[in-house]
Structure 1
């Protein structure tokens, strides 16, 4: 069976639906092939905006003899998917702003899915805020470290009734990750704390111009990081 990277394995593990899964930006089709091959889903629709990745996906689908369970579609985002056609939708491995565009343009389709499995590569805080403002609730999160980079990911569902706006730390670091006291988030926060403390020290030592604005910005970030670590480790974290 196809072997997934740590990142893609974590994405696949967030999938709970067992019916039809749509994978947007499927590239090699690894996630549909993996989940269909393990019979965790009945069928999959592997979609990509470019023909090249779809051809690679088709090769993998044929290799694992899953042609009867996985179809491929040329699609810009969710354009080739109908409302309620897929129980679950995976969008992984692309920038947060691009994922926002895909969800906004395919809003009618996205909001009818039982779950969205999302793994933005950038603009993480802004993407989480976008989800909340668009009526989605994050129901599960995970985070992995692979090849020196941290990858947060989430499962979200559309709900018309939601609680009050989350605290800023929920947008910055992930409410579910904080609640889980996730070890990879803890590692990430410790790394961020060290990085920003070093930047702040160099800034104060070598400043030849007014750096008060940048200094204040770094101190605010360090305050958020400290709060996050306190939620994970307890109030004694310094």
Structure 2
């Protein structure tokens, strides 16, 4: 049965950041594939699969029952982190496959539910900076990041532990903060080919946006200036990588 559950490479990578014996919540769990995948491979793991809509909630329950994991995976209906309730046993939270703005909103609205949570694993589809900024503001230290590609899409995974849970080293520097929030402090140190490809694409996209903004009837000079600064950062990172190669 363990081999019948097929998980995307993206979610497999997300699962790799959960410790052995994890007791975690998967927010927006859809069919509960991630919790089932983890619990089938780790007999000590337990999970909460959270869903806000009744359709995916029922699908998740069906998956959990099919793999006979109802004793270790609790499927709960609720909005965002409210599915954690007063459960202080949950130590990790996974939020994957949503926009960064939505992930930030979920974390912000459910902040009171995170008192016992030691690790947040976020995989935003876009706007990773928004997630990093929230984590920094709320006392979570980014301990790992990765960028990967699957089916023509690039994904970033951000792993952050709560301050005080260990001897953590803050990867951010005051001088480079905004730049690190954009690119990812750890991704900047370990640039891969996929990182390079992503920012080549973003450079072209941002260049087009700036040109369109300059031709608009109402020119937002402040926004253009901010975008041009980011464009320069991207150019510098790409040039730095090309010089290394």
Kindly state the Cα deviation for residue 145 of structure 1 after the two structures are TM-superposed.
2.0
- Once the two structures are superposed, what CA deviation does each residue of 1:44-90 show, in whole Å capped at 9, x if it has no partner? 11111122111111121122222222111112112131253212111
CA distance in 2, matches of 1:126, 1:21: 23
Kindly state the Cα deviation for residue 215 of structure 1 after the two structures are TM-superposed.
6.5
Gaps spanning 5+ residues in structure 2: where?
A: none
State how 1:140-219 maps to structure 2 within 5 Å: 140-159=144-163, 165=174, 167-197=177-207, 199=208, 213=221, 216=225, 219=228
Q: Which has the higher contact order (CA 8 A, sep 6+)?
A: 1
Q: Please state if 1:71 is matched with 2:80.
A: no
State how 1:50-69 maps to structure 2 within 5 Å: 50-69=53-72
TM-score (norm 1): 0.83
Kindly state the Cα deviation for residue 221 of structure 1 after the two structures are TM-superposed.
2.9
Kindly state the Cα deviation for residue 175 of structure 1 after the two structures are TM-superposed.
0.9
CA distance in 1, matches of 2:52, 2:220: 45
Q: 1:40 to 1:170 in 2, by over 3 A?
A: farther
Structure 1, 128-137 or 104-113: larger mean CA deviation: 104-113
Q: 1:133 to 1:230 in 2, by over 3 A?
A: farther
Gaps spanning 5+ residues in structure 1: where?
A: none
RMSD across aligned positions (CA): 3.0
Aligned residue in 1 for 2:231: 222
TM-score (norm 2): 0.81
Aligned residue in 2 for 1:91: 95
Query: Of residues 117, 120, 133 in structure 2, which corresponds to 1:116?
Result: 120
Kindly state the Cα deviation for residue 235 of structure 1 after the two structures are TM-superposed.
4.7
Say whether the 8 Å CA contact 1:111–1:157 is kept in structure 2: no
Kindly state the Cα deviation for residue 126 of structure 1 after the two structures are TM-superposed.
2.1
Q: 1:200 to 1:77 in 2, by over 3 A?
A: closer
Structure 1, 133-142 or 217-226: larger mean CA deviation: 217-226
Q: Please state if 1:31 is matched with 2:44.
A: no
Q: Please state if 1:125 is matched with 2:118.
A: no
CA distance in 2, matches of 1:103, 1:136: 12
Kindly state the Cα deviation for residue 6 of structure 1 after the two structures are TM-superposed.
2.5
Residue 78 of structure 1 aligns to a residue whose secondary structure is helix
Q: Which runs of 4+ in 1 moved over 3 A?
A: 160-166, 194-197, 200-204, 206-219, 234-237
Residue 82 of structure 2 aligns to a residue whose secondary structure is coil
Structure 1, 68-77 or 35-44: larger mean CA deviation: 35-44
